[in-house]
Chains A and B, each alone.
Chain A
Amino acid sequence: MTAVTLAAPGAALRYAPPIEAELDHLAATLGAVPALAERYPLRWLAVQLLEGDEQLLAEAESLGGPAVTAALAASRERLAPHYGEDLDVALVDQRYRFVHALAGQALTRPAAPPLTLSDRIDQVVTHRWLGIPIFLALMWVVFKITTDVTAPFVDWIDATLSGPVSGWVAALLSAAGLGGSWVEALLVDGVIAGVGGVLVFVPVLLALYFALALLEDSGYMARAAFVMDRLMHALGLHGKSFLPMIVGFGCSVPAIYATRTLDSRRDRILTGLLVPFMSCSARLPVYVLIAAIFFPAHAGLVIFALYLTGIAVAIVIGMLLRRTLFRKQPPAPFVLELPPYRLPTLRGVWRQMWERTAAFVRKATTIILATSIVVWLLLAVPVRGEGRFADTPVEQSAFAAVAGAAAPIFAPLGFGAWETSGALLTGFVAKEVVVSTLGQTYAVAAAEEEAVTPTTFGEDLLGIAGGLVSATGEALRALPGVVGITLEAPEEETAPEGLAAAVQAGFEASSGGHGALAALAFLVFVLLYTPCMTAVAAARHEFGSRWMWVSIVGQFVVAWLVALLVFQGGRLLGG
């Protein structure tokens, strides 16, 4: 390796003669201010002032007084005929020319630069026309994996929890002399139904985080940000904003913290306000449940459309915000490093899947357990009728009273029933609670109808193991469908039963016979409304109380308006 030392005088960067003349003038004026001359190199300070550095301008004017202001104005005036409004651009441009010439001296490039594997992949993946279709195709694959491939495991966990596990708890309580008491009701209908209803989505999250980890670790995520830069600029955002946005598909909370990677406060806040419109994974359980009930044949398509709707709303809101609240602040330029592609390691991918899913489960067993119990208590306390504690009809409970009071707000959207408004209320605690609350409000009424065949512990274990094996088989058969190949004939639609039937009947009733449309409006509302309290707390931490309230109120209004558009618009179109 070589080291070269030369004592030649620095070949300073020279600008065009008219600029140099003004730099000399300015440096002389600035040099007359001792406080400035002591603190800054004068020529450098003059360059910054001409380039329009507001912070230094304020400092120079406060220390140097009107003389500095006048000298700067005079210099700008004399330079205006040469460069017009674009003096700052001219300075940067001339600096780049200097750099280009310098690089030309210091570097000999090979006639035909050898392409690395990364370069060759990038030629396709970041291609002008192919880039965005490839990006969308990859997103499509991710969501097929999280819906179709995981579905058998979801069913398996659900069956295990609602069947054998609930049975064991009931048997244990009977042995302790508590059979049929409110304790059993609390454990089976509150704890197992609530937390269990969330745990069934662990396979969905594992799959989602698996896909995200692959995209991140391979280096594709940075390309996605690059490819999406043009779209991000349409939002008045930085291409880097796309990273938090993508993280937002997993969870809004880390996404809001990920806005720290952005350079300007304007970009951070604007991105932070738009992140919750990216449909987080906790909302996915709601989509999966409702879409499976109302649109069984097109569930994947409906869910994909919801994700796109979130993006579209973010685009519109972003443009509105840019022209209103953020009008005065221009966006920062886009610089993004594209790391070379790497093969993701199994260990790295597994660690991310595990840590993120474990964080979700921890949340499920603390916040959500508490909410489930509160909701169960509200359901257990009678406010009307003849019911006793833990033995009251749902429609006479305290929960129905609270939710019923809020229901009229949602009537124009087609889901003004207390069951759905109650679920939306608890959804503020965490979005996935919407599912467990729906499970409680609708299924509590239907629970008695199920006939239970007594089984032994051994039979239960065999049944659980057998269920896992067949779920794995089904998931493997669903894999080719991820890229659009269907090996099997589509399953015949089965009539929804239990919860599904109750939810369907509820939406039909509240919408005056437009159940599917109301369900769609409900899904759109869940997609867009006020983020969960954890995300709100993160927003407050990062951006302050004021922006937190903008997020809480603003998103509720946006969600209400868009859902109204879907329901009433759909009815006008004859849906």
Chain B
Amino acid sequence: MRELTIALAGNPNVGKSTVFNALTGLHQHVGNWPGKTVERKEGRLILGAHQITVVDLPGTYSLAARSLEEQIARDFIVRERPDAVVNVLDAANLERNLYLTAQLLEAEARLVLALNMADVAAARGLRLNPEALAAALGAPVVVMTASKGQGLAELKAALRDLVAASGRRAAAATLKEVAR
């Protein structure tokens, strides 16, 4: 079975580390000092028969390579081409967070959107429409509150679907190679 890689991308302070911990079970300090996640953090996630490496990218507001963090995130997404990118967003500040999403989309990353901090958004009276977002982006959208463990099962399910599809695509690609 081919080794799969998933990257976590998102703005700083959106709960990315919490999502990472929940996915991998790896203990990790959650803090918000700028530059804290500059080093690469990896964890393992078992999804069905798949062993997946989860890479926590540094929190960035964009993918323009202006800072070390942005450079790291961009190079990983563009050059390493992870099998999927989980884009964690602060649902309470959706518009600002979507700029990174637009750039990820442009970099042809296979996205799963995790609209985190849904509780804060609800408290501010914001009504999310994940269906519309998913339709507009052609990517699965999960609404979650990672700090309370809500939505994690849905995120894993979305990843499992994506992995299955990716497996089928890989198989199809292999078949094409063979046919040639």
Contact = CB atoms under 8 A, between A and B. Distances in A.
Task: Among A1, A9, A11, find the residue whose CB has the most chain B CB atoms closer than 10 A.
Answer: A1
B136 A110 contact: no
A148 to B, nearest CB: 33
A337 B97 CA distance: 12
Nearest to B91: A107
Contacts, number: 146
Given A98-B102, A106-B130, A264-B67, A6 B135 contact: yes
A260 interface: yes
A256 to B, nearest CB: 15
User: What interface size band does chain A fall in?
Assistant: 35 or more
B3 interface: no
A44 B139 CA distance: 18
A487 interface: no
B34 A1 contact: no
Interface in B106-149: 106-108, 118, 123-145
A113 B106 contact: no
A44 B106 CA distance: 6
B32 A8 contact: no
A44 B12 CA distance: 24
B170 interface: no
Nearest to B154: A3
A105 B132 contact: yes
A46 to B, nearest CB: 10
Interface string B12-29: 110000000000000000
B98 interface: yes
Interface residues of B, number: 58
Given A113-B124, A332-B67, A335-B61, A95 B129 contact: no
A335 to B, nearest CB: 5
B65 interface: yes
Contact of A4 (B33, B108, B141): B141
B28 to A, nearest CB: 20
A241 to B, nearest CB: 12
B95 A41 contact: no
A102 interface: yes
Contact of A108 (B129, B141, B145): B129
B125 A114 contact: yes
Nearest to A332: B66
Contacts of B139: 10
Given A41-B107, A261-B34, A335-B61, A109 B126 contact: yes
Contact of A3 (B32, B68, B124, B140): B140
A113 B145 CA distance: 21
Contacts of A263: 66-70
A127 interface: no
Interface in A317-333: 332
A362 B68 CA distance: 34
A430 B12 CA distance: 37
B106 A4 contact: no
Interface string A33-44: 000000111011
Contact of A10 (B34, B94, B105, B141): B105
A5 B144 contact: no
A106 B161 contact: no
A213 to B, nearest CB: 15
B64 interface: yes
Interface in B55-90: 61, 64-70, 78-79
Contacts of A43: 106, 108
Contacts of A116: 124
Interface string A330-359: 001001010100000000000000000000
A103 interface: yes
A105 B126 CA distance: 13
Given A2-B130, A13-B106, A43-B106, 13 more contacts: A1-B142, A3-B140, A3-B142, A4-B131, A4-B134, A8-B135, A10-B139, A95-B102, A95-B103, A99-B101, A106-B136, A110-B124, A263-B68
Leading 4 A-B pairs by shortest Cβ distance: A110-B125, A263-B67, A3-B154, A10-B138
